[in-house]
Amino acid sequence: MKPELRHYGIVFIMKVSQVRQKYLAFFKARGHTVVPTAPIVPGNDPTTLFTSSGMQPLIPYLLGKDHPGGTRITDVQLSFRAGDIEEVGNNRHTTFFEMLGNWSLGDYFKQEQLPWFFEFLTSKEEGLELDPSKLYVTVFAGDKDTGMAADMEAVEIWQRLFKEKGIDAAFAEMDTEEAGYERGMKDHERIFSYGARKNWWSRSGVPSNMPAGEPGGPDSEVFYDFGLPHDEKWGEHCHPNCDCGRFVEIGNSVFMQFLKNADGTFSELPKKNVDFGGGLERLTAATRNDADIFLIDVFDSARSVLEKKTSTIYGTDSGVTRSFRIILDHIRAATFMLAEGILPSNTEAGYVLRRLIRRAIREADRLGSKDAVLPDVAAGFGAAYAEQYPHVQAAAEKIRSELAKEEEQFRKTLIQGLREFEKLQKNGKITGEDAFVLFSTYGFPFELTAERASELNISIDEVDFLEAMKKHQDTSRAGGAQRFAGGLADHSEQTVRYHTTHHILLKALQMVLGSLVKQRGSNITAERLRIDFTSPAKMTDEQKKQVEEIVNDVVYQDLPVIRTVMPRDEAEQLGAQMEFGVKYPDMVSVYSVGPKEATDDDPKIPHAFSLEFCGGPHVSNTSEIHEGGKKFNIQKEEAVAAGIRRIKAVIE
């Protein structure tokens, strides 16, 4: 590692893997159980396309369900936010990221959480050794609409922590971002309070929007000052929540402290929770004291490939730099999606993946790329994450093949788009609606429409196009918000029945097709189950009939379904099935189906029909699956990729 001299002392620039490892070790040493990342696409949650935060997979536990790992949990969660696609291009926004997280489920609270995170940031021995003079924090200013008081407890904690570092941390009330731009920051001010729009968390937003019975609470964000000059296009003065890029949020502690009452007042929760999230890439950039996260090590190989293939250098000018950032972000996200079995399509997650790839192709063209470059960029990410996420490297050939196939298809789309453009331009102009149709129906980028119109010296109505785009984006966001529905996984009775049936089905497939069958993806709703699994050939009708008979036979034996927490090594020795590409903690939750005499105290796991690593939930007995005489039935079996088959099945 290369030492870098700062006024705070000599420190070492860290790699992403080092920051990740230090964070997990820090909280493990403080009694936290390390749990694995959930998939980017939640297999059992039909309410959301992607895992978009570290909190999302933990919400059932934050709302009261017991976590198998105990009351102190820590992890690194792979996350993707489709809503940030248009933001990519500056020095800090990405769609895909790793979120460091630690949770207290009715255990510790503010007096422990804030000092621990501050210690992790500044400690030489256990943390990142960041300069505390570069850290600024925000707290909840209170809410006049509901009478919620300001979080002065957090202010006092932060002032004490900074004082211990010899820093006088004055407190200032901002309330709104607008006030921050007007007022600016005074000497010694380091702690700033903002209103509910910035420093309050609930599933419904600000306190006045919360329904009775919903929990929520204040949060406290930490910002790193990269020292960039303020850009006055955002406002006259800079402040922590300014968008000019000087201050970058590196961590946020949410304190689930209150419950809204029927009369609109708030009472303290009897069991308070802490939810912390910190961007791994941003924290790594802070160790470099460089605001450009695209210069951290996980981008090095991919960035170098892109420079060689396009004969351009990152940072040459703003246009080149923006194109590099979009390609690097989008192909990193696409690489992980493809590794998880998502394929480009025109619906749901596949549509988002296709959009990422096509935007990256367009930016590669801007850089002057003459050949397909994206597969080589993706290979750079496979190598960068080989140790932590080996499933990405293992899927290298599939990733390369799908990217090459998608680029070839997009080239054909562009040809079709040009043909349609030629038809439309005969009217002597291109309307905003014309441009939007070219974009939405034919995938023809607006920039190409504008360039071609300029070449032919015909007018184009960009204002109308932007209005059509805004309407389309607003509709998409509304649909996405409805789909997310708070991030709760679907735990309805029928979905739970399908979840247990899914376990039985996987074992039945292995019995009929062989032990090489492994799960490669799943999606479970209240209407049906879906499983993706490894198999080289299409199933015969006889094989499908055998699988159905095995599943129904097990279901109608009325077998108990038992959850057991045990060491991971022991579960592996017992042959427990595990999710592809997931790293499991030392202690794991497993579910066994049968035998008939199994109990919670004596699950008789060696004699179980099936055994899987799983967090649940499941039925307590398979008799719940066949209530009303229902039976398992395979509706469809098909290929989804080379060597990967998919079954859709119902219980009816």
Condensed to tens digits (0 to 9), the pLDDT of residues 95-154 reads 999 999 999 999 999 999 999 999 999 999 999 999 999 999 999 999 999 999 999 999
549 & 478 share domain: no
Question: CA–CA separation, 128 vs 19, rounded Å?
Answer: 7
* CATH code assigned at 623: 3.30.980.10
400 & 316 share domain: yes
* CATH code assigned at 128: 3.30.930.10
439 & 318 share domain: yes
So what's the pLDDT on residue 7? 36
Condensed to tens digits (0 to 9), the pLDDT of residues 23-51 reads 999 999 999 999 988 888 876 555 578 88
Contacts of 86 (CB under 8 A, 6+ apart): none
343 & 270 share domain: no
Average pLDDT along the chain: 88
241 & 365 share domain: no
Question: CA–CA separation, 433 vs 439, rounded Å?
Answer: 10
Report helix, strand and coil shares of the chain as percent, to nearest 5: 45, 25, 35
> Could you give the maximum distance between any two Cα atoms of the chain, in Å?
81
204 & 311 share domain: no
298 within 8 A of 33, measured Cβ to Cβ: no
Lowest mean pLDDT among 214-223, 267-276, 515-524: 515-524
β-strand partners of 79:
97
So what's the pLDDT on residue 482? 38
Beta strands in 318-436 (DSSP E): 429-430
Q: At which of 242, 261, 294 does a domain end?
A: 294
For 71-91, what is the mean pLDDT? 88
The band of 581, judged by pLDDT with boundaries at 50, 70 and 90, is low
Q: How many domains does the chain have?
A: 3
For 476-497, what is the mean pLDDT? 53
Condensed to tens digits (0 to 9), the pLDDT of residues 470-480 reads 776 665 545 44
132 HSE (CA, 13 A, CB side): 22
460 & 577 share domain: no
So what's the pLDDT on residue 416? 83
103 & 20 share domain: yes
Question: CA–CA separation, 8 vs 130, rounded Å?
Answer: 8
For residue 571, the enclosing domain spans: 493-651
Question: CA–CA separation, 260 vs 345, rounded Å?
Answer: 42
So what's the pLDDT on residue 587? 78
So what's the pLDDT on residue 465? 85
User: For a pLDDT cut of 90, what percent of the chain falls above it?
Assistant: 58
Question: CA–CA separation, 295 vs 318, rounded Å?
Answer: 15
Q: At which of 266, 294, 322 does a domain end?
A: 294
277 & 317 share domain: no
So what's the pLDDT on residue 38? 84
277 & 308 share domain: no
Q: Tell whether the model's pLDDT for residue 402 goes beyond 60.
A: yes
Sign of CA dihedral 354, 355, 360, 365: positive
Q: Tell whether the model's pLDDT for residue 81 goes beyond 60.
A: yes
327 & 288 share domain: no
Strands 459-460 and 429-430: parallel
Q: Tell whether the model's pLDDT for residue 452 goes beyond 90.
A: no
Q: At which of 486, 508, 528 does a domain end?
A: 486
Candidates 109, 99, 115, 120; CA nearest to 27 is 120
Residue 595 preceded by cis peptide, ω within 30: yes
99 within 8 A of 278, measured Cβ to Cβ: yes
Q: What is the CA radius of gyration of the chain?
A: 26
**Number of CB atoms found within 10 A of residue 348's CB:** 14
Q: Tell whether the model's pLDDT for residue 431 goes beyond 80.
A: yes
64 & 212 share domain: yes
Condensed to tens digits (0 to 9), the pLDDT of residues 281-321 reads 999 999 999 999 999 999 999 999 999 999 999 998 999 99
Q: Tell whether the model's pLDDT for residue 548 goes beyond 90.
A: yes
So what's the pLDDT on residue 486? 28
Only one residue has tokens 């119109």, namely: 453
Buried (b) or exposed (e) across 73-103, using 16+ Cβ within 10 A?
bbbbbbbbbbeebeebbbbbbbbbbbbbbbb
Cβ-count burial of 541 within 10 angstroms (0-12 exposed, 13-18 middle, 19+ buried)?
A: exposed
92 within 8 A of 282, measured Cβ to Cβ: yes
**Number of CB atoms found within 10 A of residue 472's CB:** 13
DSSP 8-state secondary structure symbol assigned to residue 208: G
Q: Tell whether the model's pLDDT for residue 11 goes beyond 70.
A: no
